[in-house]
Amino acid sequence: MSTFAASHLSPSYPDRAAWGTAPKLRAWQQEAFDLYFRREPRDFLTVATPGAGKTTYALRIASELLANGVIRAITIVTPTEHLKRQWADAAGKVGINIDPEFKNSQGATSRDYIGVAVTYAQVAMHPALHRARTEARKTLIIFDEVHHAGDAKSWGDGIREAFEPATRRLQLTGTPFRSDDSPIPFVEYAEDAEGFKRSVSDYSYGYGPALDDGVVRPVIFLAYSGEMKWRTRAGDEIAATLGTPLTKDQLSQAWRAALDPKGDWIRQVMQAADRRLTEVRRGVPDAGGLVIATDHEAARAYARHLRNISGEGATVVLSDDPGASKKIKQFAVSEDRWLIAVRMVSEGVDIPRLCVGVYATSTSTPLFFAQAVGRFVRARKRGEMASVFLPSVPTLMGLANEMEVERDHILNKRPPEDGLDDSLLQDANRKKDNPDVLGDELPFETMETSATFDRVLFDGGEFGTGAEVGSAEEEDFIGLPGLLEPDQVATLLRKRQSDQQAAKTKKAETAAPALAPHEQMAELRRELNGLVGAWNHRTGQPHGVIHNDLRRACGGPPIAQATAEQIQERIDKIRAWATQRR
């Protein structure tokens, strides 16, 4: 095999390459490749954001090791069956024949293959078999999404037993690590300043640098609030406004009501998302959309909504569907508008033409959210951007505002409060036949739901002043061009927000009758307190701390003694905070 067998592999293979990258490696891939061969390590951990091109990078290393005689065989370990085939397809294009159908019962594969693709679960079921295969020939092990290697103690032990004798091990991951204390096999840990053991990557390439390099798309999040009304089993009727401060139980119930296919909220949000997709397709003709659904029943109902909205049927991919991989591949090369997947984000839904998403699931762990958003970030050409529609839920808003946060796996730490829990992720991706029951709540009946455009989140800033669905104000953001550079996105969002605020001010000035001074003061206080509440949800800071920070920034007495001018100054200040990077 030629030393450069993989040199003609596009950096985002098996999908279309990003602008200006083929046939050469992207800068980060070349840098990581060069570092690998300078060190000649037995173990090497590469952390690269979803969509960066980890498959191309790993296969280029494999080609070089094969050409140099360092290895004679390859084993690729993946989280899912679909990814086994995806890796085999990619490897086959560069002359590396991988068997994705290898089963433990076979014991060996055909001599036509230079290696196999297996799942973590498959290895854990028969580690001795895979150890014998690893010992038989000098073998490179490629761990795809290596954090899955610690999903259970038996898995970790099995992976360690099977691949301890490997000649080389290349670990890859694109999402934050685990929250439990199960060490990931073959990953190095070092003690940090607080005495905790933290995973150490050999090369890291985060979303921020990838965005700067044009390797991934900028992502805007369009958040929707709204009025929810439901009836409990006891017959009580409860109403709440999504996007306002709610108790944990109220929030979970309002969120569930919003996602209920029988209500108007999800239908209105999907209608807005379809309008956004139409706008994006003006510049990206084959752009597609993905709805991430909670369960099978909801997915089928969402498909009916989308047929009524767009006039086209949607491809529905269910986690227990034996034809799921085939449907995904067919959608990837088509120009169909919509795909609906039930918790499939870690199971190979990797379609670069996906530009619009609807986050219609009740799962909110950082791992799941990162994997979900990762479906939309792969760039193919300069200027493409992605749009993700989501409910105005504090946890989701916080995750959207922290797209560039990079996390490591930490051992011996206190119980997590940020949801970095792979057991939750595993639950999120298992087969779902029935709707979720959030917490210990009793089943309830959704009565009425309606959506309201809340705001846009981008690059750590928040834009928009709220608007009715279908209004000109909402259209300002839904109608953003589908081809924009990151700095152009920020500039345009700031302008649209400024225009909205100016229009509202002008409308208020011409409205009659004018408010009495005490009414005007009460209105300003309500507005400020509402903004402080929103900032509390975003940052976790207590309301009193936020008010004190505003007083320090703007001067003046406590709100009860402040003048209208002083309160307005604080309102302007907290709005400015919301549009700046955190």
Query: What domains are defined for the chain?
Result: 27-205 (3.40.50.10810), 218-410+443-507 (3.40.50.300), 517-580 (no CATH)
pLDDT at residue 163 is higher than 80: yes
pLDDT above 90 coverage of the chain, percent: 38
Cα separation of 486 and 489, whole Å? 5
pLDDT reported for residue 487 = 78
**Which whole number is the average pLDDT over 458-480?**
83
Residues 358 and 290 sit within 8 Å (Cβ to Cβ)? yes
Q: Which residue would you say has higher pLDDT here, 297 or 527?
A: 297
Q: Which of 37-51, 126-140, 364-378, 379-393 has the lowest mean pLDDT?
A: 364-378
pLDDT at residue 488 is higher than 50: yes
Structure tokens at 215: 């390797």
Structure tokens at 135: 């010992």
Angle at Cα 55 formed by Cα 422 and Cα 144, nearest 5°? Answer: 25
pLDDT reported for residue 223 = 94
**Confidence band of 122 (pLDDT split at 50, 70, 90):** very high
pLDDT reported for residue 360 = 95
pLDDT reported for residue 177 = 59
Q: Which residue would you say has higher pLDDT here, 90 or 544?
A: 90
Q: Which residue would you say has higher pLDDT here, 196 or 88?
A: 88
**Which whole number is the average pLDDT over 344-364?**
81
pLDDT at residue 476 is higher than 70: yes
pLDDT at residue 561 is higher than 70: yes
**CA atoms 65, 67, 73, 76: torsion sign:** positive
Q: Tokens 């730490």 belong to which residue?
A: 413
Residues 390 and 292 sit within 8 Å (Cβ to Cβ)? no
pLDDT at residue 527 is higher than 50: yes
Give 309-342 pLDDT, tens digit per residue: 999 999 998 866 777 778 888 998 999 999 998 8
The answer to pTM > 0.85 is no
Q: Tokens 């030393």 belong to which residue?
A: 3
Identify any residues that bridge with 458 across adjacent strands, giving them in sequence order.
461
Q: Closest by alpha carbon to 366, among 343, 410, 412, 398?
A: 398
pLDDT reported for residue 5 = 45
**Which whole number is the average pLDDT over 421-430?**
44
**Confidence band of 161 (pLDDT split at 50, 70, 90):** very high
